[in-house]
Amino acid sequence: MTIDDLIAKQMRVTRQENPHCDSVSFDRDCANAFQHYVNETLAFAVKRGGFMYGTVSEEGKVEVDFIYEPPQQGTEEVLMLLRDSDEEKLVEAITACLGMRRVGFIFTQTIMQDKKDYTLSHREVLQAAELHAESELKEWVTAVVKLEVSEDGGADVHFEAFQMSDMCIRLFKEGWFETEIGEDADPKLSKMKKDVVVGTKDVKEVDNDFFLVVVKILDHLVCYALVFFLNFDNCISFVVVYFLILGFIFG
Protein backbone atom coordinates (compact mmCIF):
# COMPACT_ATOMS: atom_id res chain seq x y z
CA MET A 1 0.00 0.00 0.00
CA THR A 2 1.40 3.39 -1.04
CA ILE A 3 1.37 6.65 0.92
CA ASP A 4 -1.37 7.95 -1.41
CA ASP A 5 -3.49 4.91 -0.59
CA LEU A 6 -3.10 5.56 3.12
CA ILE A 7 -4.12 9.20 2.70
CA ALA A 8 -7.15 8.21 0.63
CA LYS A 9 -8.26 5.82 3.38
CA GLN A 10 -8.37 8.78 5.75
CA MET A 11 -10.27 11.06 3.33
CA ARG A 12 -13.84 10.22 4.30
CA VAL A 13 -16.65 12.16 2.62
CA THR A 14 -19.75 12.55 4.78
CA ARG A 15 -22.72 14.88 4.78
CA GLN A 16 -22.48 18.09 6.79
CA GLU A 17 -25.70 18.58 8.73
CA ASN A 18 -25.48 22.26 9.70
CA PRO A 19 -24.33 25.32 7.71
CA HIS A 20 -22.07 28.00 9.15
CA CYS A 21 -24.68 30.67 8.39
CA ASP A 22 -28.01 30.76 10.18
CA SER A 23 -29.96 32.01 7.13
CA VAL A 24 -29.73 34.13 4.00
CA SER A 25 -32.13 37.00 3.43
CA PHE A 26 -32.58 38.60 -0.01
CA ASP A 27 -33.72 42.15 -0.59
CA ARG A 28 -36.92 41.57 -2.55
CA ASP A 29 -36.21 44.18 -5.22
CA CYS A 30 -32.67 42.89 -5.68
CA ALA A 31 -33.80 39.28 -6.10
CA ASN A 32 -36.60 40.31 -8.46
CA ALA A 33 -34.27 42.40 -10.65
CA PHE A 34 -31.91 39.45 -11.08
CA GLN A 35 -34.54 36.85 -11.89
CA HIS A 36 -36.63 39.22 -14.06
CA TYR A 37 -33.88 39.67 -16.66
CA VAL A 38 -33.12 35.95 -16.71
CA ASN A 39 -36.80 35.06 -17.00
CA GLU A 40 -38.11 37.75 -19.34
CA THR A 41 -35.06 38.35 -21.57
CA LEU A 42 -33.04 35.14 -21.46
CA ALA A 43 -36.05 32.85 -20.85
CA PHE A 44 -33.79 30.65 -18.71
CA ALA A 45 -32.21 29.42 -21.96
CA VAL A 46 -28.63 30.20 -20.88
CA LYS A 47 -26.94 30.41 -17.51
CA ARG A 48 -26.38 33.71 -15.72
CA GLY A 49 -24.54 34.52 -12.49
CA GLY A 50 -23.49 37.24 -10.11
CA PHE A 51 -21.79 38.04 -6.82
CA MET A 52 -24.02 38.81 -3.85
CA TYR A 53 -23.15 41.73 -1.58
CA GLY A 54 -24.49 42.52 1.86
CA THR A 55 -23.74 41.93 5.51
CA VAL A 56 -23.13 39.07 7.95
CA SER A 57 -24.37 39.38 11.53
CA GLU A 58 -22.59 38.03 14.59
CA GLU A 59 -25.21 35.27 14.67
CA GLY A 60 -24.23 34.23 11.14
CA LYS A 61 -27.27 35.70 9.39
CA VAL A 62 -26.44 36.77 5.84
CA GLU A 63 -28.33 39.65 4.22
CA VAL A 64 -28.02 40.17 0.46
CA ASP A 65 -28.73 43.75 -0.62
CA PHE A 66 -27.59 43.75 -4.23
CA ILE A 67 -26.09 41.54 -6.92
CA TYR A 68 -23.18 42.49 -9.13
CA GLU A 69 -23.13 40.65 -12.46
CA PRO A 70 -19.59 40.55 -13.89
CA PRO A 71 -18.83 40.18 -17.61
CA GLN A 72 -19.75 36.63 -18.56
CA GLN A 73 -20.78 34.14 -21.22
CA GLY A 74 -23.46 31.54 -20.56
CA THR A 75 -24.66 28.45 -22.37
CA GLU A 76 -27.18 25.76 -21.41
CA GLU A 77 -24.56 23.93 -19.33
CA VAL A 78 -21.65 26.30 -18.69
CA LEU A 79 -21.29 29.71 -17.04
CA MET A 80 -17.97 31.39 -17.81
CA LEU A 81 -17.16 34.46 -15.71
CA LEU A 82 -14.95 36.92 -17.61
CA ARG A 83 -13.89 38.75 -14.49
CA ASP A 84 -12.63 42.33 -14.70
CA SER A 85 -10.36 43.09 -11.74
CA ASP A 86 -10.67 46.87 -12.15
CA GLU A 87 -14.45 46.73 -12.23
CA GLU A 88 -14.50 44.41 -9.21
CA LYS A 89 -12.26 46.81 -7.27
CA LEU A 90 -14.73 49.61 -8.00
CA VAL A 91 -17.63 47.49 -6.75
CA GLU A 92 -15.65 46.54 -3.63
CA ALA A 93 -14.92 50.22 -2.94
CA ILE A 94 -18.61 51.15 -3.22
CA THR A 95 -19.72 48.32 -0.97
CA ALA A 96 -17.06 49.09 1.63
CA CYS A 97 -18.43 52.64 1.89
CA LEU A 98 -21.86 51.14 2.51
CA GLY A 99 -20.57 48.78 5.17
CA MET A 100 -21.06 45.73 2.96
CA ARG A 101 -18.93 42.94 1.59
CA ARG A 102 -19.17 40.09 -0.89
CA VAL A 103 -21.18 37.34 0.80
CA GLY A 104 -21.93 34.77 -1.88
CA PHE A 105 -22.50 33.69 -5.45
CA ILE A 106 -25.81 33.33 -7.26
CA PHE A 107 -26.43 31.65 -10.59
CA THR A 108 -29.30 30.32 -12.68
CA GLN A 109 -29.94 26.90 -14.05
CA THR A 110 -31.47 26.63 -17.51
CA ILE A 111 -34.84 25.24 -18.43
CA MET A 112 -33.12 22.18 -19.91
CA GLN A 113 -31.47 21.43 -16.56
CA ASP A 114 -34.91 21.22 -14.93
CA LYS A 115 -35.33 17.87 -16.70
CA LYS A 116 -32.27 16.33 -15.02
CA ASP A 117 -32.08 14.51 -11.70
CA TYR A 118 -29.55 16.56 -9.75
CA THR A 119 -29.47 19.63 -7.51
CA LEU A 120 -26.11 20.97 -8.75
CA SER A 121 -24.11 19.58 -11.65
CA HIS A 122 -20.44 18.66 -11.37
CA ARG A 123 -19.51 21.89 -13.19
CA GLU A 124 -21.61 23.93 -10.79
CA VAL A 125 -20.05 22.23 -7.77
CA LEU A 126 -16.56 23.05 -9.05
CA GLN A 127 -17.42 26.68 -9.74
CA ALA A 128 -19.21 27.13 -6.41
CA ALA A 129 -16.34 25.50 -4.52
CA GLU A 130 -13.76 27.67 -6.27
CA LEU A 131 -15.56 30.92 -5.42
CA HIS A 132 -16.32 29.79 -1.86
CA ALA A 133 -12.65 28.87 -1.32
CA GLU A 134 -11.53 32.20 -2.81
CA SER A 135 -13.73 34.17 -0.41
CA GLU A 136 -12.42 32.59 2.82
CA LEU A 137 -15.77 33.61 4.40
CA LYS A 138 -17.19 30.77 6.46
CA GLU A 139 -20.76 32.10 6.01
CA TRP A 140 -20.40 32.27 2.19
CA VAL A 141 -23.66 31.32 0.47
CA THR A 142 -24.28 29.78 -2.95
CA ALA A 143 -27.74 30.51 -4.33
CA VAL A 144 -29.46 28.84 -7.27
CA VAL A 145 -32.35 30.25 -9.30
CA LYS A 146 -34.35 27.92 -11.49
CA LEU A 147 -37.59 27.81 -13.44
CA GLU A 148 -39.66 24.84 -12.34
CA VAL A 149 -42.29 23.67 -14.79
CA SER A 150 -45.18 21.62 -13.46
CA GLU A 151 -46.98 18.81 -15.28
CA ASP A 152 -49.84 21.14 -16.20
CA GLY A 153 -47.43 23.56 -17.91
CA GLY A 154 -47.26 26.17 -15.15
CA ALA A 155 -43.87 27.70 -14.34
CA ASP A 156 -42.51 29.27 -11.17
CA VAL A 157 -39.16 30.91 -10.45
CA HIS A 158 -37.62 29.16 -7.46
CA PHE A 159 -34.67 30.21 -5.25
CA GLU A 160 -32.54 27.73 -3.29
CA ALA A 161 -29.54 28.43 -1.07
CA PHE A 162 -26.65 26.25 0.04
CA GLN A 163 -23.22 26.28 1.54
CA MET A 164 -20.57 24.04 0.09
CA SER A 165 -19.52 21.69 2.88
CA ASP A 166 -16.21 22.04 4.70
CA MET A 167 -15.13 18.74 3.17
CA CYS A 168 -15.96 20.00 -0.32
CA ILE A 169 -13.83 23.11 0.17
CA ARG A 170 -10.99 21.05 1.62
CA LEU A 171 -11.06 18.63 -1.32
CA PHE A 172 -11.05 21.55 -3.75
CA LYS A 173 -8.17 23.36 -2.07
CA GLU A 174 -6.11 20.18 -1.91
CA GLY A 175 -6.70 19.39 -5.59
CA TRP A 176 -8.77 16.21 -5.25
CA PHE A 177 -11.40 17.17 -7.82
CA GLU A 178 -10.99 16.06 -11.42
CA THR A 179 -11.47 19.31 -13.35
CA GLU A 180 -11.43 17.88 -16.87
CA ILE A 181 -15.04 16.87 -17.53
CA GLY A 182 -15.93 14.67 -20.49
CA GLU A 183 -19.12 15.12 -22.50
CA ASP A 184 -20.39 11.70 -21.37
CA ALA A 185 -19.78 12.36 -17.65
CA ASP A 186 -22.75 12.00 -15.30
CA PRO A 187 -23.53 15.60 -14.18
CA LYS A 188 -24.78 14.52 -10.74
CA LEU A 189 -21.41 12.99 -9.81
CA SER A 190 -18.11 14.72 -9.05
CA LYS A 191 -15.00 12.78 -10.07
CA MET A 192 -12.00 12.56 -7.76
CA LYS A 193 -8.39 12.11 -8.82
CA LYS A 194 -7.95 9.49 -6.07
CA ASP A 195 -10.26 7.23 -4.12
CA VAL A 196 -12.18 8.70 -1.21
CA VAL A 197 -14.27 6.86 1.36
CA VAL A 198 -18.05 7.27 1.13
CA GLY A 199 -19.86 5.07 3.63
CA THR A 200 -17.85 1.86 3.57
CA LYS A 201 -16.69 2.08 -0.04
CA ASP A 202 -13.64 3.51 -1.75
CA VAL A 203 -14.91 5.48 -4.75
CA LYS A 204 -13.73 8.02 -7.28
CA GLU A 205 -17.20 9.44 -7.96
CA VAL A 206 -19.20 11.27 -5.28
CA ASP A 207 -22.85 12.29 -5.46
CA ASN A 208 -22.88 16.09 -5.55
CA ASP A 209 -25.56 16.23 -2.85
CA PHE A 210 -22.93 15.10 -0.32
CA PHE A 211 -21.29 18.52 -0.74
CA LEU A 212 -24.41 20.65 -0.23
CA VAL A 213 -25.63 22.08 3.08
CA VAL A 214 -29.09 23.65 2.84
CA VAL A 215 -29.49 27.25 4.04
CA LYS A 216 -32.79 28.77 5.09
CA ILE A 217 -34.02 31.64 2.84
CA LEU A 218 -35.71 34.85 4.07
CA ASP A 219 -36.37 38.26 2.50
CA HIS A 220 -36.21 41.94 3.46
CA LEU A 221 -36.22 45.46 2.01
CA VAL A 222 -33.28 47.87 2.14
CA CYS A 223 -33.73 51.61 2.77
CA TYR A 224 -31.80 52.83 -0.25
CA ALA A 225 -32.12 52.14 -3.95
CA LEU A 226 -29.67 49.91 -5.79
CA VAL A 227 -30.16 50.22 -9.54
CA PHE A 228 -28.67 47.90 -12.13
CA PHE A 229 -28.02 48.95 -15.70
CA LEU A 230 -27.30 46.21 -18.20
CA ASN A 231 -25.35 46.77 -21.36
CA PHE A 232 -27.13 44.21 -23.50
CA ASP A 233 -24.46 44.35 -26.23
CA ASN A 234 -21.79 42.74 -24.09
CA CYS A 235 -23.75 41.74 -20.97
CA ILE A 236 -21.56 43.79 -18.63
CA SER A 237 -23.39 44.99 -15.55
CA PHE A 238 -22.67 48.35 -14.03
CA VAL A 239 -23.76 49.09 -10.48
CA VAL A 240 -25.02 52.59 -9.80
CA VAL A 241 -25.82 53.33 -6.17
CA TYR A 242 -28.10 56.20 -5.20
CA PHE A 243 -28.11 57.17 -1.55
CA LEU A 244 -31.70 57.83 -0.57
CA ILE A 245 -31.52 58.47 3.17
CA LEU A 246 -34.98 58.22 4.67
CA GLY A 247 -36.15 61.49 6.13
CA PHE A 248 -33.84 63.57 3.92
CA ILE A 249 -35.16 62.78 0.45
CA PHE A 250 -37.13 66.01 0.16
CA GLY A 251 -35.25 67.99 2.78
Q: Give pLDDT, residue 223.
A: 55
Neighbours of 229 (CB within 10 A): 9
Residue 230 has pLDDT above 50, yes or no: no
Q: Give pLDDT, residue 116.
A: 79
pLDDT tens digit sequence for 28-72: 999 999 999 999 999 999 999 999 999 999 999 999 999 999 999
Residue 240 has pLDDT above 60, yes or no: no
Distance CA 132, CA 52 (A): 12
Share of the chain above pLDDT 90, in %: 72
Note whether residue 2 is domain-resident: no
Residue 151 has pLDDT above 90, yes or no: no
pLDDT tens digit sequence for 79-102: 999 999 999 999 999 999 999 999
Note whether residue 211 is domain-resident: yes
Spatial contact of 177 and 129, defined as CB atoms under 8 Å apart: yes
Q: Give pLDDT, residue 70.
A: 96
> Structural domain of residue 156, as residue ranges?
22-242
Spatial contact of 188 and 208, defined as CB atoms under 8 Å apart: yes
CATH number reported for the structural domain that contains residue 97 in this entry: 3.40.140.10
E strand map for the chain: 23-27, 49-56, 61-68, 72-74, 79-81, 101-108, 141-149, 155-164, 189-198, 201-207, 212-214, 217-220, 225-231, 236-242
Q: Give pLDDT, residue 251.
A: 41
pLDDT tens digit sequence for 166-214: 999 999 999 999 999 888 899 999 999 999 999 889 999 999 999 999 9
pLDDT tens digit sequence for 6-36: 655 578 999 999 999 999 999 999 999 999 9
Note whether residue 138 is domain-resident: yes
CA pseudo-torsion sign 178, 182, 183, 185 = negative
Note whether residue 210 is domain-resident: yes
Note whether residue 1 is domain-resident: no
Note whether residue 199 is domain-resident: yes
The structural domain count of the chain equals 1
Note whether residue 247 is domain-resident: no
